[in-house]
Amino acid sequence: MDRCVRLAVIPALILLCNAESKADVIRYRYAGVITSFTPSGTVDALNVAPGTRFSGTIAYDPLNPGERTSTQHQLVGFRVDGDPVSNPTPFTFRLDGVNSPDAGASGSLDLYVIQQTMTPPNPGEPLIPTTTLTFATDQDGRHVLLHLWSKGRWLTEGGEQPLSPPQTFSLSDFTRTEVSFFNSSGSFTGEVQSLTMESGGDPVPIPEPSSWLVMVGVMAVVTRRARRPS
């Protein structure tokens, strides 16, 4: 009986610890339509007609996004490298229905947050807070940038000195959206029309030291009770 109880308790504690300490990666799927295209003029130029659909994903851990690459007044930048378990591909982009290696890109994510205040149109009105999010990747000379502009409020803490990327957002937070792509085949831009969270969004708490003591105590009590003769 003693051994069976301990074997039942230990896996439960392990599962609890793993669930509370894992990274909280948020993943968004975006999609939209190409609005303009400029070919490079070469024979192998990619031909992308306005109206072509595109889609992709962005993923990062807002509490631990990665190496900080930029820290300036009103701007902070991070390099999000892939993790084989929690986040294998932080950024993806693809032109739907276009069969060409130049029709997409995927890889690590460069994430930039800019927070500023704009002068209001009418004197005496309060300054207008704005947030600009830029997600970028570069794969074999194929450069993709996703720009999201929010006007009316800041999306992350720190005011005009942002400290971290936002933990959650939606398409309704932004007044303007744009995807831009360029390589040797040409360049195009598009408008994001949908932005949906696929996973994450709620920070996962790490247990305090007292929590670990409580769990150890619970296991000890259960073990002692199991040893009592019936």
- Tens of pLDDT, residue by residue over 202-228, are 544 434 444 333 333 434 443 454 455
Mean pLDDT of 146-170: 89
Over 80: is that where the pLDDT of 3 sits?
no
User: 39 or 132: whose pLDDT is higher?
Assistant: 132
Structure tokens at 54: 């595109």
Mean pLDDT of 181-196: 91
- End-to-end Cα separation, the chain, in angstroms: 11
Within 10 angstroms of residue 25's Cβ, the number of other Cβ atoms is 20
Do 134 and 147 form a contact (C-beta atoms < 8 A)?
yes
d(CA 168, CA 157): 12
Handedness of CA 133, 158, 110, 58 (dihedral sign): negative
SS3 at position 123: coil
Structure tokens at 208: 């305090």
Structure tokens at 109: 């994510």
Query: For residue 92, what pLDDT band results from cuts at 50, 70 and 90?
Result: very high
Structure tokens at 16: 């609890």
Q: Tell me what percent of the residues of the chain surpass a pLDDT of 70.
A: 75
d(CA 87, CA 66): 12
pLDDT at 145: 96
Do 120 and 126 form a contact (C-beta atoms < 8 A)?
yes
Q: Give the H or E element holding residue 195.
A: strand 186-199
Vertex 140, ends 199 and 186: CA angle to 5°? 100
Task: Report the mean per-residue pLDDT for the chain.
Answer: 80
